[in-house]
Amino acid sequence: MSIDTAYMREAMARKLLRRGVSSGKISLPAVPGMLDEYVSLCDNTFSALGRKFSTEERDHLRALLAKELANAYSASNRSNIVISYEAPIGTVVNYFIQPEASTLEETYDNWVATRKPPLFGTMPDARVSALAAEADDPRTARVLDIGGGTGRNALALARRGHPVDVVELTPRFAEILRADAYKQLLDVRVIDRDVFESMEDLQHDYQLIVLSEVVSDFRSPEQLRAIFELAAQCLAPGGQLVFNTFTPRPGYLSHDAVNELAEAARELGQQMYTSIFTGDEINAAVAGLPFELVSNDSVYDYEQANLPAGVWPPTGWYADWVSGLDVFDVPREQSPIEMRWLVYQKTA
């Protein structure tokens, strides 16, 4: 009789794999809107080990993943889903799905412990510097830097003569900033806390409020609304609020065909320090408050054009990040989102 060698080899391979013993762990950011990708990854991994799932087993895996992805993502936008598996001799694979979550403070404390400084570059943002330069006398133009990090903007503004208050959530960032301000004899007051906890220790005569690379960590439009409300109370009349945020390019999020993609992109964006807000959401956040939008610029274009020669990009990751490429693995010109500088002036 004739022998189908390819068929027989596949049959032998199945027996070979069943005599194997395998174990492993898969850890990925928790993005509920990408459930299909997690199921496919597990299915392919287990199949490669000779443990192909039935439809019922795959449905069970999907239900477990959906539950734990939702739990992890709800707990924190710095959360992972961890899939541990063990395949003993035979056709069975045992797996365990567990969410892991870290707070924003823990995440950035880990940056300090594991990454080489400067974490965010050495130069202040060109957009922030330009706004500060509009002050006739820096000594009378008080600045509030929310989420000031290790002081890239705050220290530069204080060197210009501005009195600077910094609200910083991450304890290690606050320690570094306070120590550097002390060494340089600069007028910088560092407040260690979440900016949304209180306004009792803030002034009400700031000429400039800065949120640089901060809104990209927000989880909801309500947080953006809270910043506008804080600015309405703490800015002097004519003072300015500046922040950068990721927004969709024209056409993205504009029709039902991309709604599912857009929701998954929002969730992945929150895991990648790339929270996305639409123009409608930003307009709703500022509605009814005494602000006028005075400028809206591409962060990539503005900083590239206005930073001093030789310092673009500020870090190795900055240019791709502000272009949305931490969420979309595409050429920059194809990215459906980008980071924008928004400047609002208090009108009353």
pLDDT digits (tens, 9 = 90+) for 83-98: 999 999 999 999 999 9
Spans of the chain, pLDDT less than 70: 1, 253-258
- What is the longest distance spanned by two Cα atoms in the chain? 97
- Report how far residue 259's alpha carbon sits from residue 124's, in angstroms, rounded to the nearest whole number: 37
Q: Which fold has domain 5-102?
A: D-amino Acid Aminotransferase; Chain A, domain 1 (3.30.470)
- pTM value is 0.93
Q: Where are the beta strands (DSSP E) in 8-121?
A: 22-29, 79-87, 94-101
Residue 296: helix, strand or coil by DSSP?
Answer: strand
**What does the DSSP assignment read for 53-64?**
PPHHHHHHHHHH
DSSP state of 201: T
pLDDT digits (tens, 9 = 90+) for 55-79: 999 999 999 999 999 999 999 999 9
According to the model, what pLDDT value does residue 159 have?
A: 98
For the chain, give the number of residues: 348
DSSP state of 94: E
Question: Is 3.40.50.150 the CATH classification of the domain at 105-346?
Answer: yes
According to the model, what pLDDT value does residue 254 have?
A: 54
The token duo for 333 is: 């010109």
Are the C-beta atoms of 65 and 39 separated by less than 8 Å?
yes
Domain ranges (residues) in the chain: 5-102, 105-346
According to the model, what pLDDT value does residue 2 have?
A: 79
